[in-house]
Amino acid sequence: MNHFAYRDGRLFAEDVDLLALAEGVGTPAYVYSSATLERHYRVFAEAFPRSALIAFSVKANGNLAVLKTLARLGAGADVVSGGELKKALAAGISASRVVFSGVGKTKAEMRAALEAGIHQFNVESEPELDALSEVAVSLGKSAPVTIRINPDVDAKTHAKITTGTAETKFGIPWERARAAYALAAKLPGLSIVGVDMHIGSQITELLPFEQAFGRLAEMITLLRADGHAIARADLGGGLGVPYRASNEPPPDPAAYGALATKLAKEQGVDLILEPGRLIAANAGILLARVTYVKEGAAKKFLILDAGMNDLMRPALYDAYHEIVPVSEPAPDAPRAHYDVVGPVCETTDIFASDRELPCLNSGDVVAFMTAGAYGAVMASAYNARPPAPEVLVKGAAWSIVRPRLSDDALLELDRIPDWLAD
């Protein structure tokens, strides 16, 4: 459910006419809907006991205005860098509601998080335990830790976003978990608070979660028998969203919440959830304008002013996004098959192959749907293209929450060393 719909022949974001917005802000541009963000957060949070910490995965959408929208509803944050920690705190999320994940936390990042007083570190390796212990002792603090355990289940998602099998770089292998906890218990400056997992992203079935929660329950029993105080279970994120209108919808948060709540009750643990995509994906679109319609030797190309530098998901993992014209086509409008591409000089700068769409012309504006997660955060300035700006809509109001850098501003980021100065 989202708040992007046609009204009188125009696509709207809540009460904002997106064609008018595209004229005002220029294209390409990301547009987020506050009402959709809020709705997704509430539906998700309501699926869990009140004591659960819903830590929004900042890497899915780190815009400060988006974070602040969620913070006001009580969201915590799951961060994977010192920069994300700073953003979460700047958005008004209390450090006590921040969890820190990721395989490569540096000592400087650990120090910042310890000084801020975060809820917990989700540790992903033995050397990281050593490093965190050292930093905590040097600050005279105790670091609350969980260890990310790899339950070795197949999340049945795209290979490039699966994280819970034995082959990935994430988490500690199942067989080494007890030894890692024993190490954590021995090291000074660490305080074991629970267990952690995250098996992947865009998971569209409940079964992998059910299997993983089952394995986690087994591990909690073993770890408690070993004498560790396991009071929390961080279940990660990963619940999928419908990218294709035609696909079967992913499990609803209530069903997922019921599974997790059962685990929490049976094991007597407080839950932590780290949803990213589920909250943000359907709350955002990317607007782009058709620059040219090019007749190739064998294909028709729709060349847009958005490129893979703005929205990398299709190039990175063959992701599918619905593409819809902002001016609603008549039901009997002629249709054509297009390769929808960007202007970047890379063969992978292609958003969709052989996509059937209503016939479009140069100057028409289209929207990539479900682009609110892993969209703007992955943007780059490749080809010296300033990334698309971000706009947040609330009712009939809208605001640019990250401006487009000018070509000059981009140029000024580079520096000339003395030996090249004229």
Ligand X SMILES: *Cc1c(COP(=O)(O)O)cnc(C)c1O
Interaction between residue 124 and ligand X (CB under 6 A): no
Interaction between residue 76 and ligand X (CB under 6 A): no
Tell me the catalytic residues. 345
CA atoms within 13 A on the CB side of 340: 31
Q: Which of 84, 152, 274, 364 binds ligand X (CB under 6 A)?
A: 274
What is the 3-state secondary structure of the chain?
A: CCCEEEECCEEEECCEEHHHHHHHHCCCEEEEEHHHHHHHHHHHHCCCCCCCEEEEECCCCCCHHHHHHHHCCCCEEEECCHHHHHHHHHCCCCHHHEEECCCCCCHHHHHHHHHHCCCEEEECCHHHHHHHHHHHHHHCCCEEEEEEEECCCCCCCCHHHECCCCCCCCCEEHHHHHHHHHHHHHCCCEEEEEEECCCECCECCCHHHHHHHHHHHHHHHHHHHCCCCCCEEECCCCECCCCCCCCCCCCCHHHHHHHHHHHHHHHCCEEEECCCHHHHHHHEEEEEEEEEEEECCCCEEEEECCCCCCCCHHHHHCCCCCEEECECCCCCCCEEEEEEECCCCCCCCEEEEEEEEECCCCCCEEEECCCCCCCHHHCCCHHHCCCCCEEEEECCEEEEEECCCCHHHHHCCCCCCHHHCC
Stretch in the footprint of ligand X (CB under 6 A) among 87-95, 224-232, 273-281, 304-312: 273-281
Cα dihedral 306/163/81/374 (nearest 10): 20
Cα dihedral 130/162/44/61 (nearest 10): 80
Interaction between residue 237 and ligand X (CB under 6 A): yes
Interaction between residue 257 and ligand X (CB under 6 A): no
Interaction between residue 40 and ligand X (CB under 6 A): no
For ligand X, the closer CB: 16 or 172: 172
Give the footprint of ligand X on residues 344-383 (CB under 6 A): 373
Interaction between residue 152 and ligand X (CB under 6 A): no
- What is the smallest separation between the CB atom of 11 and ligand X, expressed in angstroms? 25
Give the footprint of ligand X on residues 191-230 (CB under 6 A): 198, 201
Give the footprint of ligand X on residues 153-182 (CB under 6 A): none
Q: How far is it, in rounded angstroms, from Cα 144 to Cα 97?
A: 13
Interaction between residue 389 and ligand X (CB under 6 A): no
- What is the smallest separation between the CB atom of 263 and ligand X, expressed in angstroms? 17
Tokens representing 337 are: 């098959």
Q: Which of 35, 45, 60, 379 binds ligand X (CB under 6 A)?
A: 60
Q: Which of 66, 112, 278, 323 binds ligand X (CB under 6 A)?
A: 278
Interaction between residue 109 and ligand X (CB under 6 A): no
- What is the smallest separation between the CB atom of 78 and ligand X, expressed in angstroms? 5
# residues contacting ligand X (CB under 6 A): 16
Stretch in the footprint of ligand X (CB under 6 A) among 271-279, 306-314, 377-385, 397-405: 271-279
- What is the smallest separation between the CB atom of 150 and ligand X, expressed in angstroms? 12
Q: Which of 76, 164, 208, 236 binds ligand X (CB under 6 A)?
A: 236
- What is the smallest separation between the CB atom of 118 and ligand X, expressed in angstroms? 14
Residue type present at position 282: N
- What is the smallest separation between the CB atom of 275 and ligand X, expressed in angstroms? 5
For ligand X, the closer CB: 123 or 143: 123
Interaction between residue 284 and ligand X (CB under 6 A): no
- What is the smallest separation between the CB atom of 203 and ligand X, expressed in angstroms? 7
Interaction between residue 250 and ligand X (CB under 6 A): no
Interaction between residue 238 and ligand X (CB under 6 A): yes
Interaction between residue 101 and ligand X (CB under 6 A): yes
- What is the smallest separation between the CB atom of 45 and ligand X, expressed in angstroms? 14
Interaction between residue 313 and ligand X (CB under 6 A): no
Site residues, ligand X (CB under 6 A): 57, 59-60, 78, 101, 198, 201, 236-238, 274-278, 373
